[in-house]
Chains A and B, each alone.
Chain A
Amino acid sequence: MKKIIICFVALAIPFVVLSQETNTQEKTRFKRFLNNLSGSFESNAQWYLDDDKTGDFEEDEHIRANSYLKLDYNFLGNFSIGLQAESYMPEPLLNYDWLYNEKFDLAQYYVNYKTKKLDVTAGYFYEQFGNGLVFRAWEDRALGVNNSIRGGKVRYNPTDFLELTALYGKQRRGLDVSESNVLGINSEFNLRNLLDVDLFDELSLGFSYVNKSEDYGYVNDVVSVPNHVDAYSVRLDLSIKNLYSNIEYVKKSDDLRWKSENKLFDGNALYFNLGYSKKGLGINSTFRRLENMNFYSQREDLNGRINLTNRGTLNYLPALTKQYDYTLANIYLYQAQPGLSVEDYQTVQVKAGEIGYQIDVFYKFKKGSLLGGRYGTKVTANLSYWADLNTKVSDPNGIPYFSSDALTYETDFFKFGEKLFRDFNLEVRKKWSPKLSSIFTYINLYYNADYFKANNKEVDAWIGIAESTYKFGKGKSLRLEAQHLLTDDDSKNWLGGTIEYFHNSNFGIYFNDSYNYEESDVEENSKIHFFNVGGSFTKGATRVALNYGRQRGGLICVGGVCRPVSKNTGITLNLTTSF
């Protein structure tokens, strides 16, 4: 309640000022106040409807909304204060963290002081160290992720070759904070600036340290459960002429694994990126290996079954695969497998992490060449391959059993285990005339559904997508898109398409549909149209979108992080604006 009052006092300031607007001097003062005030508002509301095909909506609240109001105020040149109020009333949208249920709250607030060299924040803040393998505090509203830290942060740049960051606080968890404390220290050394070497375009080193302190709660007489879990990261960034590289190695100290309180395991990660690019050609390759790298501010959040929305994660471990905008390309999605878990089917199986790589090639056929044609042709290819770690399970007490206290494992560092996911895709962008352009996409993927769901199923599929955009002039344009997914596995073949019309740069409407046209064992997908029809209006910083449709149950992913959504039908209203 107190929070709500503070929130309203802060929110009411502009109103109070507004009502005092009596003479010109005060008008100017008000104007100056507004000049220094900025903010944004976002509301995502859905009205869930009963559906003849897929059944009634079975929960009490049919109309739900997630809304966010953010305000920032600058003063005295270097200071700013701000807040974020969040509302999940009458209930949050389906499949969001239950910790948000029926809440309206002043979720975040901060005070910041910033100069060229110093940046100090008290209150809630976001931050990332290196690639995020040891630490990333961030927000993604579509995913329901907000892992900000409540506490203090100092960033100091004494020279052009050194940046130091220190932070301390508690991580946000739902609308509250976690029970643990987090300490983070990061340093970045720009050796190119320090040594003044012209050979390198970039040469820098980074070191990070993250400590989470969380009381275990009770005495364990088998092992001494650590109250502190540490993670260290060391990084090198290099760039010479057309070549560039980034390497990061991470070590995480001993901690419990989920489901066993009597044995400790440590974790590690290796990330290696190498790229080459010149005008008209770019190649990028990434290798990553993660072993037991789940890192939560509260141990209980390790349990994925009660934490589907990545609540309380300290690090950032996205799937390194290509991200698509097309609906059918978002059915079989890989999620990174960083964690350690022991599962018991016929034989005990230890899942300790993942290993894999991704390669991207970008190429432009020049204008006037055979394949380039009059406008040039742009080609993008991507290959990703992910496997689990090759593990050898042993148990000094006898036959390995999943709940055994002594169960342990070994891994081969560079050996690939069971194949989990592979995606090869090719995209060709072609402009035919000043008015007409097309994009063709081919995707060939393998998805090891057996590993993820233990249902003895694997999926081999290929997807073909073609889209064309025609410009009528004066901002009017029409886009047509056709998709087909071909597979003998899972719910078999899908057909999909989109038609989109923009009347001008402010207003557009669209219709899309995905239809699973073959009989299969997956009845919930068989012969049902998953369609969406809607429109959007954009003006300046304001966007309103209205949509009616049937959503397929599956994953919603943003930036390689996913949350599950259940099948639903309804009307969605999205409103975003900033001022």
Chain B
Amino acid sequence: MKNLLFVFILFFSLIASAQNKIPNTQLKTLDGNTTNLVDISKENDLIVVSLWATWCVPCKNELDAISEVYSDWQDETNIILYAVSVDDSRTIKRVKPLVNGKGWEFEILFDPNNELKRALGAATVPVTLIIKNGEIVYRHTGYTPGAEDNLYEEIKKHL
């Protein structure tokens, strides 16, 4: 029990420093190539990354909501959203038809064995990140209706 307490204290001493480095775990693209967030953020100053899954209702609600205003966001800020699917082999084949069926315009990436999810310490999805010049400047877990407006306010702060 004492050990546990010790771990707790250490943990709370660490929590003050939020993670801002992006993990360079391997991700798959729709055409079967590999990439990672480090390379992607070198090419784009400001991106939004959303970890989602086909079986996750709040994730789909979030991406549906953003999808409706995405063209406005892009016109105003040039932001690109990378929707990283954490679906494993049970549901990964649903990603492509679902994305097309819903008419989402996001960039789609795959994290099939959840290496990125683990590296980010994300216990649940959705997890939404804003990455500026290679650093995580904003992070939010979960989705509540209307939270896309907050996200857009955050994006505008980092233009």
Residue positions of A touching B, CB distance < 8 A = 4, 8, 11-12, 14-15, 18, 34-42, 67, 69-70, 72, 74, 85, 87, 89-90, 104, 114, 119, 126-128, 130-132, 136, 138-139, 141, 157, 160, 163, 190, 192-193, 201-202, 204, 237, 239, 244, 246, 273, 275-284, 286, 316, 318-320, 323, 325, 360-364, 375, 378, 380, 429, 469, 471, 473-477, 479, 502, 504-505, 508, 536, 538, 540-543, 559-560, 576-579
Contact = CB atoms under 8 A, between A and B. Distances in A.
Which residue of B1, B32, B34, B120 has the most chain A CB atoms within 10 A of its CB atom?
Answer: B32
Contacts of B119: 38, 72
Interface stretch (B40-48, B76-84, B139-147): B139-147
Interface string B1-30: 101101100110111111111001010001
A508 B146 CA distance: 13
Nearest to A284: B97
Contact of A281 (B3, B90, B100, B122): B100
B105 to A, nearest CB: 9
Contacts of B32: 190, 192, 202, 204, 237, 239
Interface SS, A side: strand
Contacts, number: 228
Contact of B150 (A283, A505, A577): A505
Interface string B86-114: 00111101101111111100000000111
12 contacts: A14-B13, A15-B13, A35-B20, A38-B21, A72-B119, A89-B4, A157-B34, A282-B98, A316-B88, A471-B145, A475-B147, A477-B144
Given A35-B21, A577-B15, A578-B19, A474 B96 contact: no
Which residue of B21, B33, B93, B140 has the most chain A CB atoms within 10 A of its CB atom?
Answer: B93
Contacts of B97: 275-277, 281-284, 360-362
A32 to B, nearest CB: 11
A505 B95 CA distance: 26
A318 B88 contact: yes
A239 B15 contact: no
B7 A34 contact: no
Nearest to A336: B90
Interface of B: 1, 3-4, 6-7, 10-11, 13-21, 24, 26, 30-34, 55-57, 61, 64, 68, 88-91, 93-94, 96-103, 112-115, 118-124, 139-142, 144-147, 149-150
A578 B98 CA distance: 30
Nearest to A190: B32
A29 B65 CA distance: 43
Contacts of A239: 31-32
Contacts of A114: 24
Given A475-B144, A541-B122, 14 more contacts: A14-B13, A39-B14, A41-B121, A190-B33, A278-B100, A282-B99, A316-B89, A323-B55, A362-B100, A504-B144, A536-B142, A538-B141, A543-B141, A579-B16
A284 to B, nearest CB: 5
Nearest to B150: A505
B18 A579 contact: yes
Nearest to B14: A579
Contacts of A119: 26
Contact of B121 (A8, A90, A541): A541
A278 B96 CA distance: 9
A103 to B, nearest CB: 11
A542 B124 CA distance: 11
